[in-house]
Structure 1
Amino acid sequence: MLKTLPQFAGTNGPRPTTEQRAELLAFVATHYEAGRSLRQIAELTGRTQTAVRRALDQAGVPRRARGAYRVRGEA
């Protein structure tokens, strides 16, 4: 299990600021495109997998099929 990153700790509320939302969308898009899974991103951001899916949709990032490749360098 991964730990929530400090920049996302305590930001999972019903009304995030515009800056918090922009940072989340950028982080999710970058890490998903780099090969991280929804689960990994959810753990790193302190969000649910559903929230990560929504963030990907809002960022305009197409989702991979299930069972897609792993991040390089990870077992």
Structure 2
Amino acid sequence: MVQRISPSPARLVLRWLTVPAGVAYVLITVATLAARIVAVTAGLIAEVADRLAAAGDIARADAHLTARPDGGLR
């Protein structure tokens, strides 16, 4: 006995659409996915930039605490 695999919901939607409507559906879906990827990537870049800025602030504060007036280190 052969087991039939049910089609995905996207295939069921696309089956009943005309060709132009199907193309528009696919383009909108791909554009939405691309927008999500861009948003997540921008969030990750902002997080890394924030961490680098915090590390720079800590390094600057440490340099000011350990430097002597004559330019040497304590």
Q: Common fold, TM-score beyond 0.5?
A: no
Could you say which structure has the greater relative contact order, defined with CA pairs below 8 angstroms and 6 or more residues apart? 1
Report which of the two has the higher share of helix: 2
Which protein has the larger Cα radius of gyration, Structure 1 or Structure 2? 2
